[in-house]
Amino acid sequence: MGTGKAGRMRASDADRDRAIEALKVAFVQGRLDKHEFDARVGRVFVSRTYLELTAVTADIPPAPARSRPLPADRLPTQRPPVSRSVKSGLTVIAAGTALAASVWTIALITQNATALLLAMTITVAYAGTLLLGSSVMLDTLSRKRTRARPLSPPLGQAGLIRR
């Protein structure tokens, strides 16, 4: 809007909301830093006319061009690395499964009481192995996630509380 009558018309709350939305989009896309965003939002709230609102958002750089998605044949196929403890846990679970299945197969084919007792004993040990292996893998994954996520600073250090 120019400097004519339309620019001097009073802006409504909905107009201010649209200007703040435009500022949010620019902030999220990295076209404004936090200090600039806060200052401009403050200016939006005190703007009374369309001209003042337009001035708050007029010099924001345009949005970067959107990149096209990669074609399916060019998408990366590499899996994320798996930790040693997860590999070890999966190996133990696979070995325990194979052992329990083979002992149960022998016990059921032979119908021997000793073989059935051995199969039940191995099944109990296998259940413990499953629990232990699963807990090790879950612990490793949770530690990895905790290390990757930065801790937020206390409120006073983040600049959220001002004196």
pLDDT at 161 over 80: no
What average pLDDT does this structure show over 95-116? 84
Which pLDDT does position 160 carry in this prediction? 47
List, for residues 36-58, the tens digit of each pLDDT value: 999 999 999 999 998 988 899 88
> What digits encode the pLDDT tens for the residues 62-83?
776 666 666 666 666 666 676 7
Q: Which of 14-23, 57-66, 90-99, 133-142: highest mean pLDDT?
A: 14-23
What residue spans of 50-156 are helical by DSSP H? 50-57, 84-110, 113-148
Computed over every residue of the chain, the mean pLDDT equals 77
Residue 19: pLDDT over 60: yes
The span from the CA of 21 to the CA of 24, in Å, is: 5
State mean pLDDT over 102-129: 85
